[in-house]
Structure 1
Amino acid sequence: MDMLKGMNEALNYIEENLDKHINLKEVASRAFFSEYHFKRLFSLLSGITISEYIRRRRLTMAALELKDPNVKVIDVAIKYGYYSPDAFSRAFQGFHGVTPSLARKLDQKLKAYPRMAFQLTIKGGIEMNYRIVEKEGFVVFGIKYNVEAVNETLSPTYEDMFTAISETTMKELESLATQEPFVIVHVSVNYAEHDNGKATFEQYIGAVTTTKEKIKEYATLEVPPLLWAIFEVDGDWLQVEEHWKRIYSEWLPSSSYELAEGPEILASKNQKSEIWIPIMAAVSKSKHLP
């Protein structure tokens, strides 16, 4: 319930400040999370980045205000953070499909993106098997991809990334694994959100090892010492995705931990998977984060 209250307080703050500069660190503090944790949680639960949500809400409100013939387009543009008429027109047309001038017509079709609210849904209890492990630093050797995510659509997709790697390379990578998990791993790191609503991250498909020697054929990711929550999942990719969301929406809010900045790891073989999430002790929720 604390998580629901905090997330909705963050959304209230956004709604009250759509016509002002919105500091995402302050938004996150309203939900009692770090900015990094809040962005990842919001994206997983809603399917869009927090920046894209704010953009859609502003363009929704802008369209409503343009119905007033006494309101100037430039004034609406500036009010919602667009200091160039061209930039506002491009963003408006990209969202609504028409220019701001045409949006003034009474019979013109426009889009509306209603404000969100997080609600509690009671479901049948499903146990989650996990362990907390503190690990020294390690290295991942593998194939690296720069991934762009727009509304949960990835480019390249996980399937494209995986199928682009030959079976011979996969076997060679798996032979490099010298510490758990002793299978091919999918490692997501350096998650970032951008003002255009896109999110980017780096994806490695490879093996975990303790060696520091470079292997010229492969990209190298050095992972620092971290505390990990490791979850066991039985089933296909859909079950893995569902479990991943439950970690963020159910386990983390009810635990004494929060997400730490670092890689997220998926290790899978024969429909047996482990999800590795970097964690740290949660900041006290008795007051807003500084």
Structure 2
Amino acid sequence: MLERLNEAMEHIERHLDRPVGTGELARIAMTSDYHFRRMFSTLAGMPLSEYLRRRRLTVAGAEVLAGERTLLDIAMRYGYCSGEAFARAFRGLHGVGPGEARRTGAALRSQPRMTFRLVVEGSSTMEYRIVAKKEFRVVGKKARVPLVYEGANPAIVEFVKGLGTEMVQRIHALSDQDPEGIVAVCDGLDPNRAEGTELDYYHAVVTNAPVPPDMDTLTVPPGAWGVFTNTGPYPQALQTLWADIFAQWFPSNPYRSRPGPEILRTRMAPDGTTATSELWIPVERTPV
């Protein structure tokens, strides 16, 4: 999988001066558009669209300094409809406009080209299983929150605090299947998964019980789930688990992610410093 992903990255480099479609990259990587976007954003730490923007402006910066083409020619070459749009984007990355950069030979910033490789560090112990589930419902309370990659999500913390003990107990009482108890469910994420974009967060349970009128519900169709478990310092071990799934597990196993909610069950140790996390990700077999 990583070899095919690197072939897609090479395709990007050969086509920085023309449109690059996610569908074409997914075809080269022999996976789905959804899984390619999901894997890229997790491994690269940025959406594919942002990487393309940075790489184009990096290469454009070298051409600006070389002085062989006009600034408008460079702008058009890398997909900008006007010199003004190019200048704004150029300044946003490099901190200086293209005209000034050419006149003064200013130092510019660079987005290195990316390649991916498998590194086994042994930093965490990850157990997994594949579970087939029938249709079920996520039932609880929902909020629209921004995506945050590192540390606690302040919007989620405030939302959960505001639910109150009675509501949480009522939600918990509806749990009737695995994963048991209160879970954190994320759905409706932006395809590029850029930090700051919004998602639906459910503080909920997985159930087929009747839905109380004052609670939110999400119906989840039948399908396969990869269930990944680890134990360690919280939240660092959980963040490592996310990275290891996409950097190590998916490239080494005949599965890919598919659209659907992601479900997290966390159980804290009594001292509050460590936790056991169980992450449910919708998966499907990779076509042979």
TM-score normalised by structure 1 residue count: 0.86
CA contact (8 A) 1:140 1:222 kept: yes
CA contact (8 A) 2:171 2:205 kept: yes
- After superposition, residues 104-253 of structure 1 pair within 5 angstroms as 104-124=102-122, 127-149=125-147, 158-193=156-191, 199-213=197-211, 215-235=212-232, 236-253=234-251
With 27-36 and 86-95 compared, the bigger mean Cα shift is at 86-95
C-alpha displacement at 1:145, in angstroms?
3.1
Which of 269, 279, 283 pairs up with 1:279? 283
With 222-231 and 234-243 compared, the bigger mean Cα shift is at 234-243
CA distance in 2, matches of 1:157, 1:260: 26
Task: For 1:133, give the aligned amino acid.
Answer: V
CA distance in 1, matches of 2:194, 2:256: 27
1:11 aligns with 2:4: no
C-alpha displacement at 1:54, in angstroms?
0.6
Q: Give the corresponding residue for 1:95.
A: 93
CA distance in 1, matches of 2:90, 2:148: 18
Q: Give the corresponding residue for 2:272.
A: none
CA spacing shift, 1:193–1:280, aligned 2, 3 Å: closer
CA distance in 1, matches of 2:51, 2:149: 10
With 189-198 and 19-28 compared, the bigger mean Cα shift is at 189-198
Provide, for residues 104-140 of structure 1, a one-character-per-residue CA deviation record: whole Å limited to 9, x for no partner.
1334232111111112324349653222211111111
Task: For 2:175, give the aligned amino acid.
Answer: A
With 259-268 and 94-103 compared, the bigger mean Cα shift is at 94-103
CA spacing shift, 1:182–1:154, aligned 2, 3 Å: closer
Task: For 1:232, give the aligned amino acid.
Answer: T
Task: For 1:274, give the aligned amino acid.
Answer: E
CA distance in 2, matches of 1:194, 1:263: 15
CA contact (8 A) 1:139 1:212 kept: no
Q: Give the corresponding residue for 1:288.
A: none
C-alpha displacement at 1:167, in angstroms?
3.6
- Indicate the SS of the match to 1:140: strand
C-alpha displacement at 1:168, in angstroms?
3.6
CA contact (8 A) 2:48 2:192 kept: no
Unaligned runs of 5+ in 2: 269-274
Which ranges of 4 or more aligned residues in structure 1 deviate by more than 6 Å? 150-155, 195-198
- Indicate the SS of the match to 2:6: helix
CA contact (8 A) 1:189 1:262 kept: yes
RMSD value over aligned CA atoms?
Answer: 2.6
Q: Among the aligned pairs, what percent are the same residue?
A: 37
CA contact (8 A) 2:38 2:193 kept: no
CA spacing shift, 1:36–1:195, aligned 2, 3 Å: closer
> What count of residue pairs does the alignment treat as equivalent?
281
- Indicate the SS of the match to 2:247: helix
CA distance in 2, matches of 1:239, 1:209: 28
CA spacing shift, 1:276–1:195, aligned 2, 3 Å: closer
C-alpha displacement at 1:212, in angstroms?
4.9
- Indicate the SS of the match to 1:192: coil
C-alpha displacement at 1:71, in angstroms?
2.1
Unaligned runs of 5+ in 1: 285-290
CA distance in 1, matches of 2:231, 2:203: 20
- Indicate the SS of the match to 1:206: strand
- Indicate the SS of the match to 2:185: strand
CA contact (8 A) 2:175 2:181 kept: yes
- Indicate the SS of the match to 2:37: helix
Q: Give the corresponding residue for 2:266.
A: 268
CA distance in 2, matches of 1:241, 1:63: 35
